[in-house]
Structure 1
Amino acid sequence: MKAVVLAAGEGTRLRPLTAEKPKGMVEVAGKPILTHCFEQLVGLGADELLVVVGYKKQAIIEHFEDEFQGVPITYTHQREQQGLAHALLTVEEHIDEEFMLMLGDNVFDANLGDVVSRQQSERADAAFLVEGVPMEEAGRYGVCVTNGDGEITNVVEKPDDPPSNLVMTGFYTFSPAIFHACHMVSPSDRGEYELSDAVDLLLYSGHTIDAVRMDGWRIDVGYPEDRERAEQRLDPSTVSPTDADTADGPVEPMNTE
């Protein structure tokens, strides 16, 4: 199964860490965020990494070159930052089967393999790793509505009035049907082609998407303090006594800048 990593964003909220490098190259626990992503995807059985680059793309290409731990890397270029659905279309010509998708600014220690297994079970056309958060925090995320069978029935991007507290975490599996849906998406109020809108089109056309509850943790490294939290998670010995009570706080929302 191929794996797509979206790593084109500028990471404006991570400045000054991203002044000279893309956010995927910001180091967490001594190695770039993208290295953490690639390690997990290769561990899940990825046989090719498709990396969507943009802002300061040469830093990524020169660091990783054309393979990672023996797995080939193919780079595609998102020339303008127009949303996740727009970024995903840059890999369309390279994919003709089910694939994994990871946002390249997340650090996970979670049951990603359960999502892949669900996709391969032939029960679902797609599967998402989802997490329950406090209702007052849900509006900062892509929010999922599910039915009694654990299937996603609706996705709303950062709603003012969240219909649930179940949110997407940044790890998905899809069939190639997602590309047709991405082509059909119109720009949102933010002027971006939203992945959540493409997902809704999949659902409207009768595709089944399963929600897999996260067992573990993830941190979206959107701000400098998120990098510190991720390092504390990966190496608990770095947690100071004053930090210990807050290290398990809620994750920050996913960022596409």
Structure 2
Amino acid sequence: MDAVILAAGEGTRLRPLTNDRPKGMVEIDDRPILADCFDQLRALGADAFHVVVGYRKEDIISHFGDEYAGIPITYAHQREQAGLAHALLTVEDRIDDDFMLILGDNVFRANLEDVVMRQHEDRADAAFLVEEIPWEEASRYGVCDTNEFGEITAVVEKPDDPPSNLVMTGFYTFSPSIFHACHLVQPSDRGEYELSDAIDLLLHSGRTIDAIPINGWRIDVGYPEDRDEAERRLRTASKPEQS
């Protein structure tokens, strides 16, 4: 699979860390977040990286160039911050098969391979990692609505009154059908073309989407304290166990 990395955001909530760099270039344990994303995707067998850039895009392009660890990189420019569905459409002409998608401000140490394996089973049009979080935090994310059997029936982006505390985590696999759904999405109340709305359209058209519970951890680096927590966890994980 190819991999798409969304890294166009300005990261206003991460200031002052993003005063002089894009969000994906904020360092965790002395490395840009994007480098960690690339490593995770490389371990999953990514054939190519397609990076969607925007704010201070030159910083990303000049740092990584046209390859990472032997894997080719292409860049697509999202000229306005109009939502994740809008960002994904910038690479539509480069994708002709199932692909991985990761949000370039997330740090994962989790079962991403389970999502990829589910997509390879050829029964799903999409799969994504989900996580139960505290209710008071759910309004920050794409929230999954479920039925009495625990099956996902809808997703909604950053709702004021979340229907559940089960949220999408920022790692997905899709078939190219997602692009058609992205074209159909209308601007949300926030004025953005939401990826969660495109996923919801797939659900309501009868497409099969599988949600994989997270096994491990992930941190959405939205605020400076999130960067600090991700760094703490990575450093703790790298310490040798005491006998």
TM-score using structure 1 length: 0.89
> How far apart are 1:165 and its partner, in Å?
1.5
> Which residue of the partner structure matches residue 235 of structure 1?
235
Identity %: 74
The DSSP-based 3-state class of the residue aligned with 1:201 is helix
Q: Match of 2:59, as an amino acid? A: A
Superposition map of 1:214-225 within 5 A: 214-225=214-225
Q: Structure 1 residues 173-182 or 146-155, which shifts more?
A: 146-155
Q: Distance in 1 between matches of 2:51 and 2:75?
A: 5
Aligned structure 1 segments of 4 or more residues deviating by more than 4 angstroms: 147-151
> Which residue of the partner structure matches residue 3 of structure 1?
3
> Which residue of the partner structure matches residue 169 of structure 2?
169
Q: Distance in 2 between matches of 1:55 and 1:170?
A: 20
Q: Match of 1:106, as an amino acid? A: N
Q: Distance in 1 between matches of 2:211 and 2:237?
A: 33
Q: Distance in 2 between matches of 1:60 and 1:158?
A: 28
> Which residue of the partner structure matches residue 241 of structure 2?
none
TM-score using structure 2 length: 0.94
> Which residue of the partner structure matches residue 111 of structure 1?
111
Q: Match of 1:92, as an amino acid? A: E
Q: Match of 1:14, as an amino acid? A: L
Q: Distance in 1 between matches of 2:202 and 2:237?
A: 44
Q: Distance in 1 between matches of 2:23 and 2:142?
A: 21
Q: Match of 1:96, as an amino acid? A: D
Count of residues in Structure 1 that have an aligned counterpart in Structure 2? 238
Q: Distance in 2 between matches of 1:77 and 1:227?
A: 25
Q: Distance in 2 between matches of 1:234 and 1:25?
A: 17
> Which residue of the partner structure matches residue 141 of structure 2?
141
Q: 1:134 to 1:181 in 2, by over 3 A?
A: same
> How far apart are 1:136 and its partner, in Å?
3.1
Q: Gapped runs of 5+ residues in structure 1?
A: 239-257
> Which residue of the partner structure matches residue 54 of structure 1?
54
User: What is the aligned-residue RMSD (CA, Å)?
Assistant: 1.5
> Which residue of the partner structure matches residue 90 of structure 1?
90
Superposition map of 1:75-86 within 5 A: 75-86=75-86
> How far apart are 1:146 and its partner, in Å?
3.5
1:193 paired with 2:193, answer yes
Q: Distance in 2 between matches of 1:172 and 1:237?
A: 24
